[in-house]
Structure 1
Amino acid sequence: MTNFETYLSPYTWRYGTPEMRKIWSETHKRFLWRQIHDLMAEVKVYAQQCSQAGGIIHLGATSMDVKDNAVVLQIRQSLNQVLSSLRDVLKIFADLIEKHAETPIIAFTHLQPAEPSTLGYRLAQYAQDLEADYQALRRIRNNLRGKGFTGAVGTSASFAELLGIEQLPEFKKRVSELLNLSFFPVVTQTYPRRQDYQVVSALAGMGAVLYKFAFDLRILQSPSFAEWAEPFGAQQVGSSAMPFKRNPIRAEKMDSLARLLAQLPRVAWDNAAHSLLERTLDDSANRRTILPEAFLITDELLRVAKQILSGLRIFEDGIERNLENYAPFAATERVLMALGKAGADRQEMHERLRQHSLKAWDAVQRGAPNPLEDLIVGDTEIRRYITPERLLALMSVSAYLGDAPQRALTVAQTIREIETTDPHN
């Protein structure tokens, strides 16, 4: 039962799934320790042909032979869960990309309107990076290695004394098979802490992508954009003081947690760099927090991302309004190129289009409809070179999307291949 009379880490009850919390629980950790103790006893019985192994459990081993291998097993179990959750998130991204591959939007650079793109292409940016993170985490998971059973400084001297040096290869092989875990060929009292750094850095890298997705959503949910919104429950209260509020609390939570996750690789780096000679203990205390918290934060990020994506609200009216306001400006480049090909003086036409754009921008800033299309089509000097019909075609949004829809679908297809070729990670 949770005791709220004392300090509790929010990761014990608020963030992460019960499954991830269980992996890093004291009970599960000790279960793994016991499993490794029993495994060692079994191997020693095999090696020495003893009928009773109780008296030699842990004989020849350092505590890190048990603890370090157990931690690697916890990391592997956690990565399995992360990969499973990430696959779910990627699948939803693929669904949305395929649905909106050709849905035009206005893209923004420097938070200012730029040129048309598609909604599917924007979503594919996040999905492409997350797919790369999936592959990176999968490689790390598949290449995890434990300390093995090598004693106080990694030389296996105590086990050589206990079993005989000729028995060591078979001993190591059997233990590796029983744990289904490869071991580093060279270790000290611990496995190289660089492995922790690689794991936590990969999680933080994925956190950066999820942070950007959540931050972009917060921008796009703001009234000045009004294109996307995270799910909002019928009974959800946006603000205790302002009943009308619809705050993006899920996306804000993602950014808050991802910001913390980004700091953890630095601690793991210090642990790897400061593990002096054959071992110091100054990594021990912080590893009790950074490893479980890195996974619990990641677990919560993926859980909330799945919630948001599953109920993502896309406002077509807002998208269309932004296109009508800003897409005509991007079309001036196409009009200018067409005028040049038609024999018009480029500098003169550039100035005419610039003047029309300034007038149109003033109108948009006043809240009026964008008049740029009418200004250009109504310019008799421009019509000397290009017909009104051709001008309207040049300013069509659908004609200025490049191959963005096809490339977005390529990302979705890559994700679908994960579903078929790697169904169980």
Structure 2
Amino acid sequence: MSHATWTHPFANDPRAYASAKMRALLSDDAKFETWRKLWLNGARCQRQLGLAITEGQIAEMETHLKDPIKYDHVAELEVKKRHDVMAHLAYFGELCPAAAPIMHQGFTSCTITDNADLLLHRETLELVEIRLARVIARLMEFARRHWDLVILGATHYQAAEPVTLGKRACLWIQDLLADLRNIRALSSALPFLGAKGATGTQGPLLTLFNGDKDRVLEFDRLFAESCGFVELSPLLAGQTYSRKIDANIISALAALGSTLARISNDLRLMAHDYELQEPRTEDQVGSSAMAFKRNPMLAERLRAIARWLMGMAAIGQQMYADQWLERTLDDSATRRILIPETYLAADACLLIAQYLFEGASANTAVIAANVRRQLPFLATSEVLAAATRAGLSRQTAHEHIRVLSMEAWDGIFNRGEGNNLLERIKDNPFFAPIKDQVDSLAEPNVGLAPDQVAWFITGTVEPALAMYRDNLDERVTLNF
């Protein structure tokens, strides 16, 4: 790693935010080797359909397919040609002089770049999908451990009726499952561009096959199949595949970012109340000034990268909207930045989230103390129900409880009193019919929350994760 020039945080070893696997999928080596595979597969399919291509030419391309790329030489070619595809085609032709005359027949640059990008989408979406499944699996275990742990609920970030920590985690899982379904649907529906020509008419291929439409269609099928796309509907295209595909994928990853951002915010709020702890190393420093600090650094970083990821959706939609007629090139520079960086950001977010829930711990004593402190207020729903059962007016009871609660708050805020709301309720003549029940009502009621956790895990989460069972065990180590 050079320290003399700026390096991207997503790829800055040894403290890169994104994984080595994702970075390898997005690397120059992976991209340009895919270009070579497309030239080779195209030639194979054309030979199969009767074009004058020899076995020797195919063998030569196969032999040099994985030859190391001399990037300095390619750069020199690109300076001359001002065209990246033609530079790499020229270099591959130098390696395969016998096959050079038959490479790229009936193709445009987008036959290479766009099909390579669709293959890239397929591989990177698969990795995102697996990482997301792992996060859900870790959260499922977290929810299972804390399925019945009573914790203060919060509405408007104020104390509300209690829930269980497991139920709260299941709400997070539910949204992540929606992201998982969305990403899987996009991945499974990815098309293959094939060779559609400069404006999408397939005219060059039709000429190449002497006007034989059937061979043009068969070439599309064989070419797609050679790249692993076997169940396809015919794809209409201009010169490129529709950038709507890119925009939809970017939006789905941005939506995942919003879910992870929402979860990270909840984690930070709970850390503020000392209810939850992030995993931390023995020598971890929270603050250079305040040595006692235990800052939620991981949740903060997750939120920071998720914020960036969420913002990519607008760029993707604008890129699609700015495509003119059969094609313009103003998407090119945007896509070179947008697509890899969006995947890297999603990868980084998922790594952090998985690490968080592999080591997060609930401070059960603090959680219980927080519930006890608010218990008189929490009991008011039960008091209200008991009053109604005793034949008292529900609306009148509600107003009495509201007034008494404000008096109790005033004592807490302005006179340092303890929470005496239940005593105030018992002393109020209106509640005389249920006075003897009030103390017994001051127990946290989480309703069906524990059952909801069990039902949700067994009925929804476990079936959704079943197809990923062989990929869930890998754990995460972070170097930042």
Q: TM-score range by the shorter chain?
A: over 0.9
Letter aligned with residue 19 of structure 2 = T
Moved more, 345-354 or 207-216: 345-354
2:450 is the counterpart of 1:402: no
Q: What residue identity is the alignment partner of 1:287?
A: R
**Offset at residue 422 of structure 1 (A):** 4.6
In 2, distance between residues paired with 1:5 and 1:350?
68
**Could you tell me which residue of structure 2 aligns to residue 234 of structure 1?**
282
Cα distance in 2 for partners of 1:189, 1:351 equals: 69
Q: Confirm whether residue 191 of structure 1 aligns to residue 236 of structure 2.
A: no
Q: In structure 2, do the counterparts of structure 1 residues 191 and 183 end up closer, same or farther at CA, with 3 Å as the change threshold?
A: farther
Q: Which residue matches 2:92?
A: none
Q: 1:141 to 1:375 in 2, by over 3 A?
A: same
Residues of 2 paired with 1:328 and 1:62: CA distance?
Answer: 73
Corresponding residue SS for 1:362: helix
Q: Does 1:171 align with 2:211?
A: no
Which of 48, 53, 59 matches 1:50?
Answer: 53
Shift of 1:149: 1.0
With 8-17 and 121-130 compared, the bigger mean Cα shift is at 8-17
Q: Which residue of 1 aligns with 2:9?
A: 10
Q: Are residue 20 (structure 1) and residue 65 (structure 2) matched? A: no
* Aligned mates of 1:125, 1:348 — CA distance in 2: 34
Q: 245-254 or 296-305, which moves further after superposition?
A: 245-254
Following superposition, which runs of at least 4 residues in structure 1 exceed 6 angstroms of deviation? none
1:144–1:349: structure 2 CA closer, same or farther, 3 Å change rule? Answer: closer
TM-score by length of 2: 0.82
Within 1, Cα distance between the matches of 2:234 and 2:323? Answer: 16
- Deviation, structure 1 residue 104: 1.2
Give the C-alpha shift of residue 421 in structure 1. Answer: 4.0
Q: Secondary structure at the match of 1:263?
A: helix
One-letter amino acid matched to 1:125: L
Q: 1:157 aligns with which of 189, 198, 203?
A: 203
Cα separation, partners in 2 of 1:391 and 1:278, compared to 1, 3 Å: same
Q: 1:160 to 1:386 in 2, by over 3 A?
A: same
Q: Choose which of 333, 347, 358 in structure 2 pairs with 1:299.
A: 347
- How far apart in 2 are the matches of 1:195 and 1:344? 61
Instruction: Say which of 230, 243, 257 aligns to 1:207.
Output: 257
Gaps of 5+ in 2: 58-98, 472-480
State the shift of 1:60 in Å.
1.6
Match for residue 33 of structure 2 among 28, 31, 34: 31
Report the alpha carbon displacement of residue 134 of structure 1 after superposing the two structures with TM: 0.6
- Shift, 1:270, TM fit: 1.4
Query: How far does residue 183 in structure 1 lie from its aligned partner after superposition?
Result: 6.7
| 1:136-168 Cα deviation digits (max 9, x unpaired) | 111111001122111211111111111232311
Helix, strand or coil at the partner of 2:152: strand
Which structure 2 residues correspond to residues 111-130 of structure 1 after superposition, within 5 A?
Answer: 111-130=157-176
SS in 2 for 1:11: coil
Residues 184 and 190 of structure 1, relative CA distance in 2, 3 Å threshold = farther
Query: 8 Å contact 1:116–1:327 — kept in the other structure?
Result: no
Question: Which of 406, 420, 440 is the matching residue for 1:371?
Answer: 420
Are 2:137 and 1:138 aligned? no
For residues 207-254 of structure 1, the C-alpha deviation after alignment (integer angstroms, 9 at most, x for no partner) is 1110011111111111xx211121121100111122112111111111
What secondary structure does 1:176 align onto? Answer: helix
Cα gap change, 1:313/1:364 in structure 2, threshold over 3 Å: closer, same or farther?
A: farther
Amino acid at match of 2:25: I
Equivalent-residue separation in structure 2 for 1:368 and 1:303 (angstroms) = 46
Q: Would the aligned equivalents of 1:86 and 1:134 in 2 still touch at CA under 8 Å?
A: yes
Query: Is contact 2:164-2:449 (8 Å) kept?
Result: yes
- Which segment drifts farther, 230-239 or 365-374? 365-374
Which amino acid in the other structure matches residue 441 of structure 2?
L
Q: CA deviation at 1:350?
A: 4.3
| 1:110 and 2:160 matched | no
1:314 to 358, 362, 382: 362
> Is this contact kept in 2: 1:190–1:279, CA < 8 A?
yes
1:263 is the counterpart of 2:311: yes
Partner in structure 2 of residue 87 of structure 1? 133
Matched, 1:334 2:382: yes
Instruction: Give, in whole Å, the separation in 2 of the partners of 1:327 and 1:31.
Output: 64
For residue 89 of structure 1, give the secondary structure of its aligned residue in structure 2: helix
How many Å apart are 1:176 and its aligned residue? Answer: 1.1
Aligned-partner Cα distance in 2 for 1:12–1:81: 17
Q: CA deviation at 1:266?
A: 1.1
Classify the secondary structure of the residue corresponding to 1:117: strand
When residues 60 and 350 of structure 1 are mapped into structure 2, their CA distance, relative to the original with a 3 A threshold, is closer
Equivalent residues, number: 418
Deviation track 1:376-401 (CA, whole Å, cap 9, x = no partner) reads 34x2736631252x32332211xx32
Query: Which amino acid in 2 is paired with 1:214?
Result: S
Q: Where does residue 324 of structure 1 map in the other structure? A: 372
| Cα pair 1:121 1:404 within 8 Å, conserved | yes
Tell me the SS of whatever aligns to 2:130: helix
1:81-120, CA deviations, whole angstroms, 9 ceiling, x for partnerless residues?
A: 1111111111111112122222111111111112111111
Q: 1:371 to 1:177 in 2, by over 3 A?
A: same
* Aligned amino acid, residue 8 of structure 1: T
**Letter of the structure 2 residue corresponding to residue 186 of structure 1:** L
Letter in 2 for 1:372: L
Q: CA RMSD in A?
A: 2.0
For structure 1, the 5+ residue unaligned runs are none
**Equivalent AA in structure 2 for residue 170 of structure 1:** E
Contact 1:44–1:163 (Cα < 8 Å) also in 2: no
Change (3 A) 1:6 1:350: closer
Query: 2:10 touches 2:348 (CA, 8 Å); kept in 1?
Result: no
